[in-house]
């Protein structure tokens, strides 16, 4: 996929989200050599950055390095639909049939907790654009 893209728009043209960023989308320099750290995370997508964020919050003395071969958000995290919701791409009854009622309920609750957690972190970290979701909108995200 990367081979077909070149020039200044290499990253910006990948998605709506990347095209709307103001900052230059330039890969950071490679590590100059060996590094002595506590945790190495490979990939600066949601999974890697979320992990790095929570590790740093849990123990600020941890030396965490995130290695990314392109730019942050280069993968699916920078190109998705942007929906943060607790709606499952399958039915809850179907899940219960395959994995049992308790597992289906636990999964739905975990997804709802995730939406709440994303909202909490975005609100806590946002300086300019607080996600002051009205109760009804937030309830929709939770699939209520």
Ligand X SMILES: Cc1cc2nc3c(=O)[nH]c(=O)nc-3n(C[C@H](O)[C@H](O)[C@H](O)COP(=O)(O)OP(=O)(O)OC[C@H]3O[C@@H](n4cnc5c(N)ncnc54)[C@H](O)[C@@H]3O)c2cc1C
| Chain residues that interact with ligand X, rule: CB under 6 A | 42-48, 67-70, 74-77, 79-84
Find the shortest distance in angstroms from Cβ 130 to ligand X. 21
73-79, long-range: CB < 8 A, 24+ apart = 73/17, 73/18, 73/44, 73/45, 74/11, 74/14, 74/44, 74/45, 75/43, 75/45, 76/45, 77/45, 77/46, 77/47, 77/49, 78/14, 78/15, 78/17, 78/18, 78/45, 79/14, 79/15, 79/17, 79/18
Which residue, 30 or 127, has its beta carbon nearer to ligand X?
30
- Closest distance of CB 71 from ligand X, Å: 7
Shortest distance, CB of residue 81 to ligand X, whole angstroms?
Answer: 3
Identity of the residue, 79 or 133, whose beta carbon is nearer to ligand X in the bound complex: 79
CB of 52 to ligand X, least distance (A): 11
Minimum CB distance to ligand X smaller for 76 or for 137: 76
Considering the complex, state which of residue 70 and residue 88 has its C-beta at the smaller distance from ligand X: 70
């Amino acid at each position: 996929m990367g081979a077909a893209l070149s020039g200044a728009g290499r990253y910006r043209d990948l998605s709506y989200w990347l095209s709307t960023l103001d900052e230059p989308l330039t890969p950071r320099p490679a590590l100059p050599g060996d590094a002595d750290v506590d945790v190495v995370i490979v990939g600066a997508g949601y999974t890697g950055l979320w992990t790095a964020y929570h590790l740093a919050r849990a123990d600020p003395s941890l030396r965490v390095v995130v290695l990314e071969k392109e730019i942050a958000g280069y993968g699916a995290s920078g190109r998705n639909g942007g929906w943060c919701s607790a709606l499952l791409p399958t039915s809850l009854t179907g899940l219960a049939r395959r994995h049992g009622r308790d597992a289906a309920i636990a999964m739905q609750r975990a997804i709802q907790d995730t939406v709440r957690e994303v909202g909490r972190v975005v609100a806590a970290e946002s300086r300019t654009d607080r996600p002051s979701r009205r109760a009804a909108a937030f309830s929709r995200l939770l699939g209520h």
